Amino acid sequence: MPAPVAPAESPAPLSGAPPQTVIAFQDVSISFEGNTVLDGISFSLERGETKALLGVAGSGKSTILKLTMGLVKPDRGQIWVLGQEVSAMKEEDLFELRRKIGMVFQESALFDSLTVRDNVAYRLIEEGVPEDRVQKRVEEALRFVEMEHTLNMFPGELSGGMRRRVAIARAIVDQPEIVLYDSPTGGLDPVTSTTIIELLVKQRDVYHNSSLLVSHRLQDAFTMATHYFDRGQNRMVPVDSAHIDTRTSFLVLRDAKVIFDGSAHELASNRDEYIREYIS
Amino acid sequence: MELISPTDWTKNLVLAIQEWTYLAARSIGNVFRQPRYVADTLQQADLIGVGSLPIVVLTGFFTGGVLALNAARTLEQYGSLSLTGQLVSISMVRELGPTLAGLMVAGRNASGMASELGSMKVTEQIDAMRALGTDPSKKLVTPRVVATIIMLFFLTIICDFFGLTGGFAVSALGLHLDAHQYWSNAYQSLEFGDVIIGLVKPLLFGFLVATIGCYYGLTSRGGTQGVGRATTQAVVAASIMILGVNYFTSQLLLYLLK
């Protein structure tokens, strides 16, 4: 099993860390009401890489995304995102950084009093983007997720899968450098789940963002690692590993610790009993 | 039911006061910081002000009426029925107008704010807003606080006026008092200090109602049940705070304006 990324010696490695690193966790721990959720975890995400976070329910996968966003603060350790130490930043200073990150929440978290159009346009309106550009970019984002017909509908009128696609459109509307997906296929049927994963593959291969993907479904992560989006055919197709690297890696959590951090191939050939059982 | 130790209860209370104070201070500080959500403030002003108008008008009218009715019984024994206007006027402007308008707005709007923000909180919409780069205290709290303070000020004046009108209706129709006598008596008995007391209170009550409603909403947890609990707690806390602050404000202002 490849060892997890070693914690850096000091905060300086941010500048000292490889310039392509967009997210770095260094010895991060957090507890909620006495329960240790993450205990000294370290890993990094490189520019253009997708990392699937796997683990049983309650293993701290979603907490990692919230820590990345600065929505919760770690009890210990350092978190660097796009060269800034979010674990040491004040809430007021984090808003600027968060505008460079898109996040798809577990239950979509669409604003239920706003239309689909206003939900997707939310970030652009807040940034004071002119109305004609807002409309153009909202339509582009909704077309990307094939939801342009829902422009004037409210979230309550959409199915679970449609809400998830609108949430993806909202997260990617201004093409953030990093996209965080929190169980984007959770609670969806297999067909809709595949549609969502295909969107994530499309997003990765068309826009080349870096992303963290939390998933309960191992097959979702493997699909991402073994498929790429073919623009000619306008669909995802199995990868020819000799020629294409999907740059998708895996991180497995167990008992608040990282027990695996590596590629799909390394995961599949891992001899650890727990991991063998998990992926079987 | 789970019992909570007095130490934990005290700690939770101190923590709640600390968090509420921080939220309240930020809500006011945001008025002087960009961005300012003017459209949201106007929308809230419409919801709080226009929406609360009927209930405040009816409360004021019937309270003024019942005040005149009860005052008349006592005043009649001393042959001072003509002072009914004075009694209704001072009671409404100094105490009942601000307090009743505050309680009505607390019942209607603190609950509305707690349930709306609470629902947003438990469905992760507040986190989504933060993730999208928006400060919820600027976008959600400050517009509600500013709108409630301004609208409760005007609602109190309206409540006072309809209280006097209710008192007049009872005086004219039930007690057969002269209209001119009632209104001139009501008007002339009011001093500068009475008006100041009556107009300072709604500013404080508006601040309390909105910050308490928002605080309970933003700290609610535990799904729909938690939202329901937050709504109830917001109304109870806001009402108690209004009554408590009303007493101490009256004491202080009476001393200062003496």
For B30-76, write each residue's pLDDT tens digit.
999 888 999 999 999 999 999 999 999 999 999 999 999 998 888 88
Residues on chain A touching B120 (C-beta within 8 angstroms): 111
Q: For residues A170 and B148, what is the distance between their CA atoms, to the nearest angstrom?
A: 32
- Model's pTM, two decimal places? 0.86
Q: Which amino acid is at A150?
A: T
For A9-32, write each residue's pLDDT tens digit.
333 334 444 448 999 999 999 999
Q: Report domain extents, chain A.
A: 54-62+99-279
Q: For residues B211 and B231, what is the distance between their CA atoms, to the nearest angstrom?
A: 13
Please answer yes or no on whether B127 and A109 come within 8 Å at the CB atom.
yes
Strands A257-263 and A248-254: antiparallel
Nearest CA in chain B to A72: B127
Q: What is the mean pLDDT of chain A?
A: 87
Per cent of chain A over pLDDT 90 is: 54
Residues on chain B touching A96 (C-beta within 8 angstroms): 133
Give the pLDDT of residue A242.
59
Give the pLDDT of residue A243.
61
Nearest CB neighbour to A122, from listed B35, B127, B132: B132
Paired tokens of A250: 């895996």
Please answer yes or no on whether A95 and B135 come within 8 Å at the CB atom.
yes
Please answer yes or no on whether B130 and A126 come within 8 Å at the CB atom.
no
For A90-109, write each residue's pLDDT tens digit.
988 999 899 999 999 988 89
Q: For residues B92 and B97, what is the distance between their CA atoms, to the nearest angstrom?
A: 5
Q: Report domain extents, chain B.
A: 43-256
Q: Which of A78, A77, A38, A24 is nearest to A254 (CA)?
A: A38
For B156-195, write each residue's pLDDT tens digit.
999 999 999 999 999 999 888 889 989 998 999 998 889 9
**ipTM greater than 0.90, yes or no?**
no
A54-62+99-279 CATH, one of 3.40.50.300, 3.40.30.10, 3.30.70.270, 3.20.20.70: 3.40.50.300
Q: What is the mean pLDDT of chain B?
A: 93
For A64-81, write each residue's pLDDT tens digit.
999 999 999 999 999 999
Other residues' Cβ atoms within 10 Å of the Cβ of residue B130: 22
Nearest CB neighbour to B133, from listed A66, A99, A112: A99
Question: Helices A116-126 & A160-172, crossing angle to 10 degrees?
Answer: 20
Nearest CB neighbour to A71, from listed B35, B120, B131: B131
For B208-226, write each residue's pLDDT tens digit.
999 999 999 999 988 889 9
